[in-house]
Structure 1
Amino acid sequence: MSGASSSLRAAFSHCVQQVRNYDYHHYLCLLELPPELRKTAFALRAFNVETSKAMDIASDPRIGLMRLVWWKEAIDKIYVRKQIEHPVAQALASVLSENKISKGWLKRSVEARINDANREISDIPEKIEDLEKYAEDTVSTLLYTTLQAGGIKSTAADHAASHIGKASGLLLLLKSLPYHASRNRHFSYIPAEVAANHGLLVKEGGRSEIHLDSREGLCDAVFEMASVANVHLLKARELSGAVPIEARPVLLESVPAQVLLDSLNRVQFDVFDPRLARGVLGVSPLWYHVKLKWYSWRGKY
């Protein structure tokens, strides 16, 4: 038993380190959770880290896709209690054995990433609603499962989680545009409708492409998408009066979304401005930490 318990401790330690290394702004959010929920939240967030970076770290897109499919199959195995030799899978199996967490939410998040990875280079989302759905499937689902793990049953909390996930997902896609541009995938996360509104959509050879030649047009497109994210944050906060106190630490993930939105505003929505890459989401780590603590202390999100 001591060997198994030592292995499990190592697995959870690995999860914490992965989240700290790859998702620092959310790592700080999870530290504000009640101790009894923290372990589960770190396992879930580490699972998200594994799936979100699968395509980025793969030398060949096919390898990244295989990794995502592996995780989809791993979820099935975990729910029938099959042993998997992977630290995040081991931690996930442990928390799933102790908490009632919907398998559907976990699979939905991986399937959304698989569908995204399978898109052809020329496939451009038509409307911003397509990206809102992707954000819902990959980010809101994390909040749903964490609320489930905490035994929190609240329609208001679920609705707030949906809005926060959409806002966070949209804003992080905007922040990642320079990275995806460097990998020739920048067009993947600007909807055709938004691009057309700001002169970024060009039709060549019978197909549409997004060109980033106009910095002003790009800033305007980013502003339009960020405005949608802002509306989601406002709607989430409008629900705060009906959200149970015990759910609010889970919804603190609205704070990094707001910080990123404010940072985008400061650089006039120019995602290529180097200030966005500084500190934590464009602000000093100390300021970010103080802001998060202030919301947590006041029971706000």
Structure 2
Amino acid sequence: MAASGLGSAWGPLGLGILALGRRRPPRGLWALSRPLPGPAGSGRSVAAACGSGATGTDRYCLELLRTRDYEGYLCSLLFPAEFRNSVFALRAFNVELAQVRDSVSEKTIGLMRMQFWKKTVEDIYCDNPPHQPVAIELWKAVKRHRLTKRWLVKIIDEREKNLEDKTYRNIQELENYAENTQSSLLYLTLEVLGVKDIHADHAASHIGKAQGIVTCLRATPYHGSRRKVFLPMDICMLHGVSQEDFLQKNQDKSVRNVIYDIASQAHLHLNHARSFHKSVPVKAFPAFLQTVALENYLKKIQQVDFDIFHPFLQQKNTLLPLSLYIQSWRKRY
């Protein structure tokens, strides 16, 4: 199925912000994501200064997210205050693992870092966390919410496998990776919120898969700059596209068809997750706020006719804080 002209088949995307008319957002909303004036490198943020209570190890997690996972940081700010530090800890743990592959020059070093986190999880469940900020905050979250160890281990194991830098053979391999990383993180987030519900778990599974697919798409230009391509080979072969086509930033119809097929799979998962909306407890909705950013990216890539290298896709969405707030206020995901 060709990408050109078929974007409309997805139906209307977006959050219907215009329905709010000219109402101004709450005064403090934009402050949540804006650095406060201060010495260069101080990292002082309004979120830290206005009620997050972030000092020491929890401040470290907050700042790690703000600089390395900005969308996750914004989503976390909208959690009820009593759960916020635990969510920061989980997302910071995920960032620590996610950045290993790109921050080491040799696989051996990456394996050593993964081994550190494996031992750290074991020590956390023995009430003996190492003196590392994320580890300490993760230990607090585990103690506070009795988090399931299996999900933490799954995330580490899957990230460790990914150190191989192997291309996904098919879309199912990419979905499995997303399930074991992104979905596992959502299962833990639901535990923080005290949600034990099969419908919420099903939604988390599909949102995690959508997140993994979108992340793979968003990272394609970056990976291409490093002479690497991780898009599923089965879809590339279906359209007669080689890795070199992506390395050369080829923009012909067949390349866009590859992106269309992959993006459509993410869109299907997002729709499937939303099909459980009426059955999922409202208490679980903060865990699923990331759907706002996912939908925003899928809408943008549709607008550029699935040109994965279009500069528009690299532009920061300045309305994201407002969109997240609206979705949180509407109790939707």
TM-score, structure 1 as length reference: 0.88
Q: Which consecutive residues of structure 1, in runs of 5 or more, have no partner in the other structure? A: 1-7, 202-208
| C-alpha distance in 2 between matches for 1:47 and 1:211 | 35
Aligned residues: 277
**Alignment of structure 1 residues 1-301 onto 2, 5 Å:** 9-119=55-165, 123-186=166-229, 189-201=230-242, 211-212=245-246, 213=248, 214-216=250-252, 217-279=254-316, 283=317, 285=318, 287-301=319-333
What is residue 206 of structure 1 aligned with on the other side? Answer: none
CA contact (8 A) 2:301 2:308 kept: yes
For CA contacts below 8 A with separation 6 or more, give which structure has more relative contact order: 2
Are the aligned partners of 2:98 and 2:159 in contact in 1 as well (CA < 8 Å)?
yes
d(CA) in 2 for partners of 1:69 and 1:243?
A: 36
1:26-55 Cα offsets, whole Å, 9 max, x none, are 111111111111111000000000000011
Percent identity, aligned pairs only, is 36
- Aligned partners of 1:26 and 1:256 also within 8 Å: no
Contact 1:55–1:65 at 8 Å: present in 2 too? no
Supply the distance in 2 between the matched residues of 1:136 and 1:256 (Cα, whole angstroms): 18
In structure 2, give the amino acid aligned to 1:190.
L
Distance 2:312 2:138 in 1: 36
1:210, distance to aligned residue in structure 2 (A): 5.7
* Aligned-partner Cα distance in 1 for 2:226–2:111: 16
> What is the deviation of 1:14?
0.3
> Which secondary structure does the structure 2 equivalent of 1:130 belong to?
helix
Which amino acid in 1 is paired with 2:91? Answer: R
Pairwise CA distance, 1:300: 0.4
Q: Which runs of 5+ in 2 are unaligned?
A: 1-53
Query: What is the TM-score of this pair, normalised by structure 2?
Result: 0.80
> Any conservation in 2 of the 1:19–1:45 contact (CA below 8 Å)?
yes
Structure with a larger share of its residues in helix: 1
Query: Deviation at 1:265?
Result: 1.2
CA RMSD, 1 decimal:
1.5
For each residue in 1:178-222, what CA deviation from the matched residue of structure 2 results, as whole angstroms up to 9, or x when unmatched? 111122221xx2112101112114xxxxxxx66425422322111
Deviation at 1:257, TM superposition (A): 0.9
Hey, what's the Cα distance between the residues in 2 that align with 1:264 and 1:171? Answer: 10
SS of the residue 1:126 aligns to: coil
User: Once the 2 structures are TM-superposed, how far is the Cα of residue 171 of structure 1 from its aligned partner?
Assistant: 0.4
Where do 4+ consecutive residues of structure 1 move more than 4 Å? none
Compute the displacement of 1:264 (Å): 1.2
Shift of 1:97: 1.3
Q: What is the one-letter code of the residue matched to 2:321? A: H
